[in-house]
Amino acid sequence: MAFQSIAKELSEFERDFAGVLDDRDAAVRFLLQYLAGQHAGRLRPKVLLLTAGMQGGTGPESGRMALLVELLHLASLIHDDVIDNASERRNQQTVNAVWDNKIAVLLGDYLLSKVLGLMQESSLPGLLERVSSTVQQLTSGEITQLSQYNNLDLSESDYIRIVSLKTASLLETSFRLGSLSAGADMVQESAYGSFGQRFGLFFQLKDDLKDYAVTSDGKGIYNDIREGNVTLPVIYTMQSLCMTERADFRHRYLQVGKSEPDLSAIAGTVRQCGALAHACGQLRQMEEELLQDCARFPASPYRDDLEYVIRETGDCGPILKL
C-alpha cells in the first residue's frame, strides 16, 4: 500500500491538523470545521515527510513543517478560488460559493496567521526567509497570471514562468523544508529543492490537463477556459491550427460570457487538434526525467513512495479516454 513509509507521520499529521483547525470563537470554528471535512490529497505534507525520510528520518520539525506547508496551501487555495470565481473544490462547494468573497479572504488570512504561529514555534534556521520568499512567489505568480488573462499569444516559456512561481515554489519549499527538518546541509537542500521545482511544473501541467476531464479531485471542468487562464493545451492548440482555424478559435475563446456548449466546443477543438495528447506526451516525458532524477536519491521505502507519487501524477489515462 502507498505511503506505508510515512503512515505514522501522516496519522500524526491528521491529528495535529484537526487541532490547528480549531478556535474558541464559534463562528470561526464553524468555518474551520467546513475545511476540516474536506477530502484533501495532502501532497505537500507527503512529499515533505518523504524527503525528511530520504534525508535520514523525520523529526518533530518535520511534523511542524508538514502542517505549515498544508496551511499555506489551503490559504492560497481559498484565495485562489475567489480570484478564479471557482465554485467547487475537493468535492465540496468552495468557501466563496457557500459564504462569500469576504469570508473567503478573511479565512485565508486567518490560516496565514496560523503559519506565522508555527514559524514562531520552530527552531529551523532560515525558515522565515524561505516562507516569506515562497509567499511572494505564489502571489507574483497569481498577479502575472492575471496580467496574461485571455492572452492567446502567451508563450510556453511565459506559461512555465507563471507555473514556477504559483505552484512549483511551494512544492520546492516543501522538499527543502523536509530535508532541512532532517538535518540536510546546503548542498543536499538545494538538490531536493531543484527536484521539487521540477516536480512542481510537472504537477501543475497535470492539474491544467485535469481541466478537460472530470476527475476524483472534485473540481469543475473548463474553469481555465471560462476564466481566460491560458495553459499549455491552449498554447499547443494555437501552435497547431492553421491561420483561419486559429482566427476562429481566437474568436470563440475571447467571446464574453461563454456558455457551457461554447466551453465544451473550445475544449473539443483542443482535443481534436491533438494539443491535449501532445501535452500528455510532455507530461510523460517529464515523468521519465523525474523518475531518473529520483533514482539518484538513496534507495529506501520513502523513495519508493515518492516514485509512486510521480507515476500517479503522470497518469493521463482518464483525460485521454474521453
- Chain residues in the site for ligand FPP (CB under 6 A): 72, 75-76, 79-80, 83-84, 86, 108, 112, 135, 138-139, 142, 166-167, 207, 219
**Binder of Mg ion out of 61, 70, 84, 211 (CB under 5 A):** 84
* Beta carbons of 104 and 96 less than 8 angstroms apart: yes
Instruction: Tell me the C-alpha to C-alpha distance, in Å, between residue 28 and each of 3, 70, 89, 105, 111.
Output: 32, 19, 20, 13, 11
In sequence order, the 6+-apart residues with CB closer than 8 A to the CB of 88 are: 94, 97, 218, 219, 220
Which range in 17-25, 42-50, 83-91, 277-285 contacts Mg ion by CB under 5 A?
83-91
Q: Among residues 214, 220, 32, 9, which one has the least CA distance to residue 113?
A: 32
Distance (Å, rounded) from C-alpha 284 to C-alpha 272? Answer: 20
Output the smallest distance, CB 28 to ligand FPP, in A: 17
Q: Which is nearer to Mg ion, 202 or 297 (CB)?
A: 202
The option from Mg ion, ligand FPP, none interacting with 319 (CB < 5 to 8 A, set by class) reads none
Distance of alpha carbon 38 from alpha carbon 288, whole angstroms: 32
**Residue position matching grid coordinates 466551453:** 263
Q: How many CB atoms lie within 10 A of CB 114?
A: 19
Encoded one letter per residue, x for contact with Mg ion by CB under 5 A and - for no contact, window 28-67 reads ----------------------------------------
Binding partner selected for residue 191 from ligand FPP, Mg ion, none, CB under the kind-specific 5 to 8 Å limit: none
What are the angstrom distances between the C-alpha of 249 and each of 179, 226, 244, 255?
Answer: 46, 14, 9, 10
The interface region with Mg ion, picked from 4-12, 76-84, 141-149, 251-259 by CB under 5 A, is 76-84
Closer to ligand FPP by Cβ: residue 5 or 167: 167
Q: How many CA atoms lie within 13 A of 55 on its CB side?
A: 28
What is the C-alpha to C-alpha distance for residues 24 and 44, in angstroms, rounded to an integer? 28
Considering the complex, what minimum distance in angstroms separates the CB of residue 78 from Mg ion? 11
Instruction: Identify what 219 binds: ligand FPP, Mg ion, none; CB under 5 to 8 Å per kind.
Output: ligand FPP
> What is the smallest separation between the CB atom of 70 and ligand FPP, expressed in angstroms?
12
Taking the C-alpha atoms of residue 2 and residue 42, their distance in angstroms, rounded to an integer, is 13
Query: Minimal distance in Å, beta carbon 211 to ligand FPP?
Result: 7
142 touches Mg ion (CB under 5 A):
no
Smallest gap from Cβ 72 to ligand FPP, in A, equals 6
CB of 218 to ligand FPP, least distance (A): 11
Q: Which of Mg ion, ligand FPP, none interacts with 206 (beta carbon under 5 to 8 A by kind)? A: none
Rounded CA-CA distance 97/249 in Å is 31
Q: Which is nearer to ligand FPP, 55 or 313 (CB)?
A: 313
The residue from 61, 70, 80, 189 that contacts Mg ion (CB under 5 A) is 80
Q: How far is the CB of 305 from Mg ion (least distance, A)?
A: 27
Of these partners, Mg ion, ligand FPP, none, which one is at the site of residue 130 (CB under 5 to 8 Å by kind)?
A: none
Partner from ligand FPP, Mg ion, none contacting 79, C-beta within 5 to 8 A by type = ligand FPP
Task: Report the alpha-carbon distance of residue 244 to residue 249 in Å, rounded.
Answer: 9
Residue 77 C-beta: closest distance to ligand FPP, Å: 6
Q: Are strands 88-89 and 92-93 parallel, antiparallel or unpaired?
A: antiparallel
Is residue 40 packed enough to be buried (19+ CB in 10 Å), middle (13-18) or exposed (0-12)? middle
**Site of interaction with Mg ion (CB under 5 A):** 80, 84
